[in-house]
Chains A and B, each alone.
Chain A
Amino acid sequence: MTALKPLAALGHAILQLLAAIGRVAIFAATSASHVVRPPFYIKEFAYSLMAIGYFSLPVVGMTAFFTGGALALQIYSGGARFSAEAVVPQIVAIGMVRELGPVLVGLMIAARVTSSIAAEIATMKVTEQIDALVTLSTNPAKYLTLPRVLAATLVVPLLVGIGDIIGVAGGFAVGVGQLGFNPATYLRNTVEFLEFSDISSSLMKGAVFGFIAAMMGCYYGMNSGRGAQGVGKATKSSVEAAAVLILAANFLLTNLFFSA
């Protein structure tokens, strides 16, 4: 019996995980099904676009700029070991657009948007506002989840695109200002080197990460426990789940896009 205990615990954990995945999948499917069923809450959607997209610009911009700059420095000093300093523009571009842009923006969105969605919806849940919505003939999935998830899926790719550009600009600033690159050459090397697939994969990752970030916020918010503690726990779990899922999805997508 005792010998089997760890096995039983493992089995239990796996079952729990599968059940959780099932619950999230059902939640996502139900929310998504509202895309084709009116009414649509345009105002909530527009508000989410602003909150998720526009107001994330400063944090996304700063993150990308500093990362692009640091990347340029690292590649320069690393490249110097085998006299490859000249590849800074190309590697910064590839690194930012393919990997760091989408991942960093995704993680910043998880920190900024997932947490705020989860805390807001969880608070609504514990103060019975979700129940009140239902009694006012308004479906919470349609009114709260769908606008947020849709807005994030559409607007995060845009943020990623902007992050990519600002990240490359950060590399450019360091490259030209500090490392002595010729501005025109730096730009030409960047533009000529990048391929369309680099950019499209970057934006596609953005859409997936936006979807994950908003969906996790809504899921944990809607399933929040009672009281202030419930809200805290929902917020924490939502950010954890969003961050891990974004990184996992990034690995899968990178495999899908670039391994062949």
Chain B
Amino acid sequence: MIELVDLHKSFGDKVVLDGVNLSIAKGESMVIIGGSGTGKSVLLKCILGLIKPTSGQILLDGQNVERVERDAFLARFGMLFQGGALFDSLPVWQNVAFRLLRGSLKRPRQEARAIAIEKLRRVGLKPDVADLYPAELSGGMQKRVGLARAIAAEPEIIFFDEPTTGLDPIMAGVINELIREIVTEMGATAMTITHDMTSVRAIADKVAMLHGGVIRWTGPVEQMDNSGDPYLDQFIHGRAEGPIEAVR
């Protein structure tokens, strides 16, 4: 259970998050939508402690995350970065199995490799990519390797920053199903950022829209279409005209 209470973040004078309140229940799939540059990635990074919020609280199971033990905290999370963030000095399989090759979750090398290849298969990649380096892959393949890395250690809470961006429609479908599966079968809590409305409908239990530094609307995905909120309507129908300015 993750709870964000009045979260603020500014970079210099630039206010990005201006009082975000949001809670995500255990085992729930929350999708964050919102215009480009509204601070969705910043929000995820704040929760993980990669960016320090200016003010506000982040609670995990009721405990302030600043006070919990960092290693134990991070061991519960997996994260797919928007840009993939693969380690370019390591081959694909060592990227995927990174956590399984060192630290508290360390396994024998062969076993870690087998798990990596299995996770690659789940994101639609053949075993022969395992020994390539990230620079030898296409953008969409890199994204999927990042996804495989995020789920490799089977974390309880997984953040996906635009998991289907740059993928073909079929592969996007595969990834949507995978994320859904991880939530329903493994009981993981997921927070996904996406601009792809098909993806939203396929993945989400709940949707939250970030706009102007606050959560403009949040609710179950079924209510998204008749929320009556002009901002949300404009966004999900992709209209150029409406309360959200096109130039930001």
Contacts and interface: CB of A to CB of B under 8 A. Distances in A.
Interface of A: 39, 41, 120, 124, 127-129, 131-138
Given A136-B99, A138-B103, A131 B45 contact: yes
B77 A135 contact: yes
A127 B74 contact: no
Contacts of B49: 134
A129 B86 contact: yes
Contacts, number: 50
Q: Report the 10 A-B pairs with minimum CB-CB distance, sorted nearest first.
A: A128-B85, A132-B85, A135-B79, A137-B74, A131-B50, A128-B81, A136-B98, A136-B99, A129-B85, A137-B75
Given A128-B83, A128-B85, A129-B87, A135 B103 contact: no
Nearest to B41: A128
B53 interface: no
Contacts of B50: 131, 134-135
Interface in B56-79: 71, 74-75, 77-79
B52 interface: no
A132 B79 contact: yes
B104 A137 contact: yes
Nearest to B146: A132
Contacts of A127: 83, 85, 88
Contacts of B48: 131, 134-135
B102 interface: yes
A253 B191 CA distance: 55
17 contacts: A39-B102, A39-B103, A120-B89, A127-B85, A128-B82, A128-B83, A131-B45, A131-B48, A132-B79, A134-B49, A134-B74, A135-B48, A136-B74, A137-B71, A137-B99, A138-B98, A138-B102
Nearest to A120: B89
Contacts of B104: 137
A131 B99 CA distance: 14
A151 B79 CA distance: 31
Interface of B: 45, 48-50, 71, 74-75, 77-79, 81-83, 85-89, 98-99, 102-104, 149
Given A131-B45, A132-B81, A135-B74, 18 more contacts: A39-B103, A41-B102, A120-B89, A124-B87, A127-B83, A127-B85, A128-B82, A129-B86, A129-B87, A131-B48, A131-B50, A134-B50, A134-B74, A135-B48, A135-B50, A137-B99, A137-B103, A138-B98
Contacts of A120: 89
Contacts of A131: 45, 48, 50, 81, 85
A137 B85 CA distance: 15
Nearest to B150: A135
A227 to B, nearest CB: 12
Nearest to A131: B50
Contacts of A128: 81-83, 85
A37 B71 CA distance: 14
A109 B50 CA distance: 32
Contacts of A129: 85-88
Contact of A135 (B78, B83, B86, B89): B78
Contacts of A137: 71, 74-75, 99, 103-104
Instruction: Determine which residue in A41, A128, A133, A136 has the highest number of CB atoms from chain B within 10 A of its CB, and name it.
Output: A136
B84 to A, nearest CB: 8
Contacts of B75: 137
Contacts of A138: 98, 102-103
Contacts of B77: 135
Contacts of B87: 124, 129, 132-133
B78 to A, nearest CB: 7
Among A131, A132, A134, which residue has the most Cβ atoms of chain B within 10 A? A132
A134 B50 CA distance: 8
Nearest to A134: B50
Nearest to A40: B102
